């Protein structure tokens, strides 16, 4: 195993693209074989495995029944409700069939959208699988999002049905979902006809709306024993929509195909995550994020593994909870975020060391930059190999990874997310000239030369133009996908991610849109103007700071500060709540009116604010400097 072997592997995946992916496609059961590996006749759109018919749910359940029917497919542990449950492949198959029959009864069929707004329960996984079984398109919305964000997503997806719960729990507190769902449905222009509600008995005051709301358990019980045939869909049929934030106020619906996604995920489990069927995979994320979609739900089950589904915090009841689960279930591979490890790092390493974690081979971390002390602490406390990997909601699986065929014994270089994964033909581009950056260590914007590999987004839901404009509009030729991340490349080909080139904020590995936060704050009647920026934070990577111009100076005080924070929580969810709110007299803008968020961010991080020659009013910066207490 060596770098040369890796280079040859990667070269084949890009230069002999069709042969390479044709081979990888054998990992999946095709109901009808594909006619062409790739159709790239309409750049920058790519269609993979054209003409092939398959079903994701068949590949995750039915095809494993003969060999693995009695093997656990899903093991659930909630440190919030103390619920524990293991389901074999056969049991999951039964649950999913019953739910699919129930959804069919309420009119859900091929191509219909279903919004899933659920906490981390096995029912969230069953719901996703029941949808793809029917050829329906799910759109999972993270349970931490507030009514306004949920309503926006409902209106864009126009779902036939929605699946939700009475409540979730976080840190021992009940988080009521139903009132929030009702609020979202009341304000939405395109609410679904039916809402299926999982009653976890957490909210005794929950009320159902007659005719619209249906009880999950009753509905499924009526269909126990049902057998719902898989709907065979063409490879490019959308499997799901997952909304993600950008720099505008409107989230983008990332549309994923079926065939390309199945093949890419199955290949990634072998090449990157180095797993085997029958082993247990523990991805500690949430089904509401892309990591949860790909590595809690789809990839482990496509590959005949056991997936461990966890509800709760990594430090509750204590910082040993994950590692006891690793011992109890013999977990071989784990995947989480650097933020989670930083939260654990505040605790005694004996929490990691006391349980027997000898089955664990590797810990994968993604979602935000991995700092060397965090990586070293995890690797020393656990005695496992810690592997960084870098990707985005849009790509669905890693773009870069320090684990790839040939790299097993290569030293892991601190701060590098690794080498390009199969099929990713990467370029570093100069932001202004639009030309490639070639010198080792020189900074550029990381771009992917189209066609994008299988599994990456096919388009923006309902808006091809936005897909082309947003992702392919920055560089000449229109065939370079911009990741909007800064990066450098070393002489031997390792990439280092340096942060976003746009104004997207990344809190604890979760992406937040600047405009969304600013729009929420501006809706407060006492706010005249606002700029939101992401500022470095020791634990969460970044935190949101809001710089507010109040309508009158008398209003600029603690009361408005609290109201601003509350407004963001209510409109977008707690995750977007600003950590600090500063009242300023002016905000730095260019003469053409563009907010210089990067300068604000630089000042907040005690850095040089950069080129200010385009600044319209130099006073604005003085006002900022005076009010930004740097601590």
Using the minimum distance from each CB to ligand AMP, give the nearer residue, 134 or 386.
386
Using the minimum distance from each CB to ligand AMP, give the nearer residue, 392 or 628.
392
CA atoms within 13 A on the CB side of 37: 17
Binding range to ligand AMP, per CB under 6 A, among 194-202, 203-211, 273-281, 368-376? 368-376
Burial of 221 (0-12, 13-18, 19+ CB in 10 A): exposed
Minimum CB separation of residue 50 from ligand AMP in Å reads: 27
User: Is residue 288 within the footprint of ligand AMP (CB under 6 A)?
Assistant: no
Site string for ligand AMP, 46-85 (x = CB under 6 A): ----------------------------------------
User: Is residue 168 within the footprint of ligand AMP (CB under 6 A)?
Assistant: no
User: Is residue 368 within the footprint of ligand AMP (CB under 6 A)?
Assistant: yes
What is the radius of gyration, based on Cα positions, of the chain? 24
Interface residue with ligand AMP, options 79, 139, 392, 599 (CB under 6 A): 392
Q: If DSSP codes are grouped into helix, strand and coil, which group holds residue 184? A: helix
User: Is residue 399 within the footprint of ligand AMP (CB under 6 A)?
Assistant: no
Task: State how far the Cα of 292 lies from the Cα of 247, in Å rounded to an integer.
Answer: 23
Q: Which of residues 220-259 bind ligand AMP (CB under 6 A)?
A: 244
Using the minimum distance from each CB to ligand AMP, give the nearer residue, 52 or 541.
541
User: Is residue 290 within the footprint of ligand AMP (CB under 6 A)?
Assistant: yes
CA 508 to the chain's CA centroid = 12
Residue 317: is the preceding peptide bond cis (ω within 30°)? Answer: yes
Task: State how far the Cα of 197 lies from the Cα of 167, in Å rounded to an integer.
Answer: 10
Q: Which two tokens stand for residue 509?
A: 């590995």
Minimum CB separation of residue 497 from ligand AMP in Å reads: 4
Q: Which of residues 476-515 bind ligand AMP (CB under 6 A)?
A: 483, 485, 497, 500, 506, 511
Quickly list H helices, 481-576: 514-522, 558-572
CA-to-CA separations, 378 to 274, 297, 328, in angstroms, rounded: 19, 25, 20
Q: How many other C-beta atoms can be found within 10 angstroms of the C-beta atom of residue 443?
A: 16
- CA angle in degrees (0–180, nearest 5) for 477-481-482: 110
Minimum CB separation of residue 512 from ligand AMP in Å reads: 9
Contacts of 325 (CB under 8 A, 6+ apart): 77, 282, 308, 310, 331
Q: Which two tokens stand for residue 303?
A: 């590959």
Interface residue with ligand AMP, options 52, 135, 260, 369 (CB under 6 A): 369
Using the minimum distance from each CB to ligand AMP, give the nearer residue, 282 or 335.
335
Q: Which of residues 403-422 bind ligand AMP (CB under 6 A)?
A: 417
Contacts of 507 (CB under 8 A, 6+ apart): 534, 537, 540, 541, 542, 543, 544, 575, 576
Q: Do strands 194-198 and 161-165 pair parallel, antiparallel, or not at all (unpaired)?
A: parallel
| Binding residues with ligand AMP: total (CB under 6 A) | 20
Using the minimum distance from each CB to ligand AMP, give the nearer residue, 20 or 145.
145
User: Is residue 156 within the footprint of ligand AMP (CB under 6 A)?
Assistant: no
Q: Do strands 510-512 and 505-507 pair parallel, antiparallel, or not at all (unpaired)?
A: antiparallel
Cα-Cα-Cα-Cα dihedral of 66, 87, 161, 218, to 10°? 110
Task: State how far the Cα of 204 lies from the Cα of 67, in Å rounded to an integer.
Answer: 43
Interface residue with ligand AMP, options 269, 366, 384, 386 (CB under 6 A): 366
Contacts of 558 (CB under 8 A, 6+ apart): none
Binding range to ligand AMP, per CB under 6 A, among 39-47, 121-129, 365-373, 618-626? 365-373
- The values of phi and psi at residue 567, to 5°, are -60, -45
Binding range to ligand AMP, per CB under 6 A, among 51-59, 96-104, 270-278, 367-375? 367-375
Minimum CB separation of residue 139 from ligand AMP in Å reads: 15
Minimum CB separation of residue 419 from ligand AMP in Å reads: 13
Contact, 17 vs 48, CB < 8 A?
no
Using the minimum distance from each CB to ligand AMP, give the nearer residue, 140 or 195.
140
Minimum CB separation of residue 484 from ligand AMP in Å reads: 6
Strand residues in 518-587 grouped as ranges (E): 527-537, 541-550, 580-583
Strand residues in 107-148 grouped as ranges (E): 113-117, 137-140
Task: State how far the Cα of 85 lies from the Cα of 283, in Å rounded to an integer.
Answer: 17
Minimum CB separation of residue 164 from ligand AMP in Å reads: 22
User: Is residue 367 within the footprint of ligand AMP (CB under 6 A)?
Assistant: yes
Minimum CB separation of residue 291 from ligand AMP in Å reads: 7
Q: Do strands 36-39 and 47-50 pair parallel, antiparallel, or not at all (unpaired)?
A: antiparallel
Using the minimum distance from each CB to ligand AMP, give the nearer residue, 69 or 415.
415
Binding range to ligand AMP, per CB under 6 A, among 50-58, 355-363, 384-392, 520-528? 384-392
Minimum CB separation of residue 116 from ligand AMP in Å reads: 18
Using the minimum distance from each CB to ligand AMP, give the nearer residue, 406 or 418.
418
Minimum CB separation of residue 227 from ligand AMP in Å reads: 37
Minimum CB separation of residue 392 from ligand AMP in Å reads: 4
Which of 219, 218, 138, 150 is CA-nearest to residue 178?
Answer: 150
Tell me the residue length of the chain: 631
CA 11 to the chain's CA centroid = 28
Interface residue with ligand AMP, options 177, 282, 390, 472 (CB under 6 A): 390
Beta-bridge mates of residue 400: 390, 420
Q: What share of the chain is helix, strand, coil (3-state, %, to 5)?
A: 35, 25, 40
Using the minimum distance from each CB to ligand AMP, give the nearer residue, 59 or 375.
375
Minimum CB separation of residue 362 from ligand AMP in Å reads: 15
Binding range to ligand AMP, per CB under 6 A, among 225-233, 391-399, 433-441, 517-525? 391-399
Using the minimum distance from each CB to ligand AMP, give the nearer residue, 280 or 482.
482
Minimum CB separation of residue 248 from ligand AMP in Å reads: 15
Note the residues at the interface with ligand AMP (CB under 6 A): 244, 290, 366-370, 388-393, 417, 483, 485, 497, 500, 506, 511
């Amino acid at each position: 195993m060596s770098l040369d072997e890796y280079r040859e592997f990667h070269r084949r995946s890009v230069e002999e693209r069709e042969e390479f992916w044709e081979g990888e496609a054998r990992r999946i059961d095709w109901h009808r074989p594909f006619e062409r590996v790739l159709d790239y006749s309409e750049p920058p759109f790519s269609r993979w495995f054209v003409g092939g018919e398959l079903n994701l749910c068949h590949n995750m359940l039915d095809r494993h029944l003969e060999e693995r029917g009695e093997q656990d497919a899903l093991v659930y542990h909630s440190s919030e409700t103390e619920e524990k449950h293991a389901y074999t492949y056969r049991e999951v198959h039964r649950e999913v069939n019953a739910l699919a029959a129930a959804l069919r009864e309420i009119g859900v069929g091929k191509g219909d959208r279903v919004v899933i707004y659920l906490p981390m329960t096995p029912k969230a996984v069953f719901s996703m699988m029941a949808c793809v079984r029917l050829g329906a398109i799910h759109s999972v919305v993270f349970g931490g999002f507030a009514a306004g964000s949920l309503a926006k997503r409902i209106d864009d997806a126009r779902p036939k049905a929605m699946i939700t719960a009475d409540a979730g729990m976080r840190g021992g507190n009940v988080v009521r979902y139903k009132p929030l769902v009702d609020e979202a449905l009341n304000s939405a222009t395109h609410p679904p006809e039916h809402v299926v509600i999982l009653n976890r008995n957490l909210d005794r005051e929950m009320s159902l709306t007659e005719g619209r709301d249906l009880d999950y358990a009753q509905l499924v019980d009526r269909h126990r024993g049902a057998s719902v045939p898989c709907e065979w869909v063409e490879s490019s049929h959308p499997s799901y929509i997952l909304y993600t934030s950008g720099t505008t106020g409107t989230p983008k619906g990332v549309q994923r195909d079926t065939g390309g996604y199945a093949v890419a995920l199955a290949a990634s489990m072998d090449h990157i995550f180095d797993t085997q069927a029958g082993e247990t995979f523990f991805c500690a994320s949430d089904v509401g994020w892309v990591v949860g979609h790909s590595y809690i739900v789809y990839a482990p089950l496509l590959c005949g593994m056991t997936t461990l589904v966890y509800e709760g915090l990594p430090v509750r009841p204590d910082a040993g909870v994950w590692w006891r689960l690793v011992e109890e279930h013999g977990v071989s591979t784990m995947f989480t975020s650097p933020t989670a490890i930083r939260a654990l790092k505040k605790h005694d390493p004996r929490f990691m060391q006391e349980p027997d974690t000898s089955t664990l081979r590797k810990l994968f971390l993604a979602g935000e930059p991995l700092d060397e002390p965090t990586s070293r602490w995890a690797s020393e406390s656990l005695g496992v190999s810690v592997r960084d990997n870098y990707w985005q909601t849009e790509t669905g699986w890693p773009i870069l990874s320090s684990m790839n065929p040939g790299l097993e014994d290569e030293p892991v270089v601190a701060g590098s997310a690794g080498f390009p994964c199969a099929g990713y033909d990467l370029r570093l581009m100069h932001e202004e000239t639009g030309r490639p950056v070639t010198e080792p260590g020189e900074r550029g914007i990381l771009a992917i030369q189209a066609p994008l590999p299988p599994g990456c987004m096919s388009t923006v839901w309902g808006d091809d133009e936005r897909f082309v404009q947003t992702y392919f509009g920055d560089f000449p030729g229109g065939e370079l996908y911009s990741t909007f991340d800064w990066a450098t490349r070393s002489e031997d080909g390792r990439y280092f991610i340096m942060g976003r080139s746009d104004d997207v904020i990344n809190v604890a590995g979760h992406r937040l849109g600047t405009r969304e936060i600013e729009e929420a704050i501006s809706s407060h009647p006492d706010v005249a103007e606002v700029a939101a920026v992401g500022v470095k934070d020791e634990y969460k990577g970044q935190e949101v700071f809001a710089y507010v111009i109040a309508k009158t100076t008398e209003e600029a005080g603690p009361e408005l500060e609290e109201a601003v924070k509350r407004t963001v929580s209510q409109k977008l969810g707690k995750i977007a709540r600003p950590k600090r709110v500063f009242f300023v007299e002016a905000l730095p803008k260019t003469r053409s009116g563009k907010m210089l968020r990067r300068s604000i961010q630089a000042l907040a991080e005690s850095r040089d604010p950069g080129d200010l020659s385009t600044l319209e009013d130099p006073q604005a910066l003085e006002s900022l400097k005076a009010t930004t207490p740097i601590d």
